[in-house]
Amino acid sequence: MNVTELIERKRDGHRLQSDEIATLITDFSADRVPDYQMAAMLMAIVWRGLDDGELAAWTEAMLHSGDVLDFSHVAAPKVDKHSTGGVGDKVSIPLAPMVAACGVAVPMMSGRGLGHTGGTLDKLESIPGFRTALDPKEFTRILERTGLVLAGQSETLVPADRRMYALRDVTGTVPSIPLIASSIMSKKLAEGLDALVLDVKVGSGAFMKSRESARDLAETMVGLGAAHGTRVQALITDMSQPLGAAVGNALEMVESLEVLRGGGPADLVEITLRLGIEMLVMGGVAADPAAARAMLQRTIADGSAFAKFEEVVVAQRGDPKVLHDPTRLPQAPEETVITAGRGGFVSRCDALDLGVAAVRLGAGRTTKEEAIDPGVGFTVCVKVGDEVAAGDPLIRIRWRRPERLAAAQPLVERAVVIADDPVAALPLILEEVR
């Protein structure tokens, strides 16, 4: 195959054939196509895009570049949820055991923090001993036993995506709807799911900054699911302010445990319920949204969701004592409180500023190899639309190192803006894409 000719054809806006795409991805995975040629192809795709047929073929080739999991022997419906990422987005932690307690198998593969957004794996690993690196046999064994796994992507699952993403990251080819959709969906389809629910975030703290781009991504991924024969639905949700109150790994774990005990911030609880409703209805264990909501709420009231989470923590060798005594989780020793300089109404609580500030505190990474501090972060005390008085706490910063506080505090202080006139609360869920 002449790769140069393929690059030129895509550069000039022509269509690639499915067999050409399959060979390109296979050869790239086998080191027969060098990085510089794939980088050129990726840039051509950024500029020219992929039509529906090309995108389905690209995703299918990525999907089959490594192992594809088979859970057909698991009788329960297999349903997962994926979020495109945000600040304070700890939904997966309470959601997965709630759904699993309703009889749905949840083989949830999550990621680490990326840029200013937090990662579910980092939050789970704030539990001492919790193992997120599982080989396919162990992953399957835990799913069979508990109906729930919370782990990272194995090395053998969609290896082409891992290599291609690293290349996109250094060649300016990350912001492409087809490439983003293919990266997400190839990994999710490799899980052997019956259905998938997507939480596509939009706003300052999301990768999709506009509602139009979020809708485009959601529709593209739903279409890819249909092309593969997998049911996919998406919610487009707000990420212009943090979700919940906690930002930071151990702090978000504490808040997740609060939800599993029947508490937690109202916005976090509602998003968790809405995504869970979609998972139960798509999995066929609830007849309609009202029945699904009642089932999910029952798992909180009767303690079965909390028990399911404890079961998977034990299965993945975490310390279950921290679930009953969250003070055992890592805690930064120092606290600084940012207060309102005047009375008024909160008109902004910027998720991007707070996400970047969390990284500066040590809650996230600036390089892939960097260790995180699970005990640092914020508690955000206000939401857009709240009325505050002078001196009211806006954000509580938990920190360990003074130089990191100095780097983060200016961003925290500017994140919250107070206006004179009343401000409407922000909607949580903007659209559904089916």
Distance CA 411, CA 350 (A): 9
Question: How far, in Å, CA of 85 to CA of 31, rounded?
Answer: 31
User: Is 14 among the residues known to form the active site?
Assistant: no
**Cβ atoms of residues 377 and 361 within 8 Å:** yes
Give the list of residues 6+ apart from residue 246 with CB closer than 8 angstroms, or none. Answer: 88, 90, 252, 254, 255, 377, 378, 379, 380
- The pLDDT, as a whole number, for residue 172 is 87
Alpha carbon distance 310, 304 (integer Å): 10
* 330-419 CATH choice from 3.90.1170.30, 3.30.465.10, 3.40.190.80, 2.60.410.10: 3.90.1170.30
Q: Annotated catalytic residue: which of 10, 81, 82, 404?
A: 82
Q: Measure the CA–CA gap between 264 and 184, rounded to whole angstroms.
A: 29
- pLDDT value of position 123: 95
Is 82 a residue of the active site? yes
Tell me what the mean pLDDT of segment 426-430 comes to.
98
DSSP 118-187: --HHHHHTTSTT------HHHHHHHHHHHSEEEEEPPTTBSHHHHHHHHHHHHHT----HHHHHHHHHHH
Considering the chain, what percentage of its residues have pLDDT values greater than 90? 91
Report the distance separating Cα 177 and Cα 260, nearest Å.
Answer: 35
pLDDT at 413: 98
Token pair, residue 54, equals 């090309």
Percent of the chain with pLDDT over 70: 99
- Mean residue pLDDT across the chain: 96
Average pLDDT score over residue span 379-404: 99
Average pLDDT value for residue range 210-214: 97
> Which CATH class for the 79-324 domain?
alpha beta
Is the predicted pLDDT of residue 368 greater than 90, yes or no? no
User: Parallel, antiparallel, or unpaired: how do β-strands 79-83 and 195-202 relate?
Assistant: parallel
Active site residue 161: yes
Instruction: Indicate whether 114 pLDDT > 70.
Output: no
> Of 10, 81, 187, 201, which residue is the catalytic one?
187
36-40, 53-57, 67-71, 241-245: range with lowest mean pLDDT: 67-71
Q: Where are the domains of the chain?
A: 3-49, 79-324, 330-419
Question: Is the pLDDT assigned to residue 404 strictly greater than 80?
Answer: yes
CA–CA dist 65, 62 (Å, integer): 5
The residue from 83, 110, 182, 183 that is catalytic is 183
Q: Is 316 exposed, middle or buried (0-12, 13-18, 19+ CB in 10 A)?
A: buried
Residue 201: active-site member: no
pLDDT digits (tens, 9 = 90+) for 60-113: 999 999 999 999 999 999 999 999 999 999 999 999 999 999 999 999 998 877
**CA 51 to CA 38: how far, in whole Å?**
19
Mean pLDDT across 389-398 = 99
pLDDT of residue 269: 99
Look at residue 347 and give its three-state secondary structure. strand
Q: How far apart are CA 431 and CA 434, in angstroms?
A: 10
DSSP classification of residue 114:
B
Q: What tens digit of pLDDT does each residue of 246-296 get?
A: 999 999 999 999 999 999 999 999 999 999 999 999 999 999 999 999 999
Residue 12 dihedral angles phi and psi, to the nearest 5° = -90, 5
Whole-Å CA distances, 224 to 182, 193, 202, 221: 8, 14, 20, 5
Distance of CA 73 to the CA centre of its chain: 27
Pairing of strands 231-238, 195-202: parallel
Which residue of the set 161, 238, 353, 373 is catalytic? 161
What is the pLDDT at residue 138?
95
Mean pLDDT of 2-6: 96
Please count the helices (runs of H) and the strands (runs of E) in the chain.
Answer: 17, 13
Q: Is 168 a catalytic residue?
A: yes
How far, in whole angstroms, is CA 168 from its chain's centroid? 19
pLDDT for residue 366 is more than 90: no
Average of per-residue pLDDT across 50-66:
96
In the set 90, 112, 116, 168, the catalytic residue is: 168
Rounded distance between C-alpha atoms, residue 355 and residue 363, angstroms: 9
pLDDT of residue 119: 86
DSSP state of 339: E
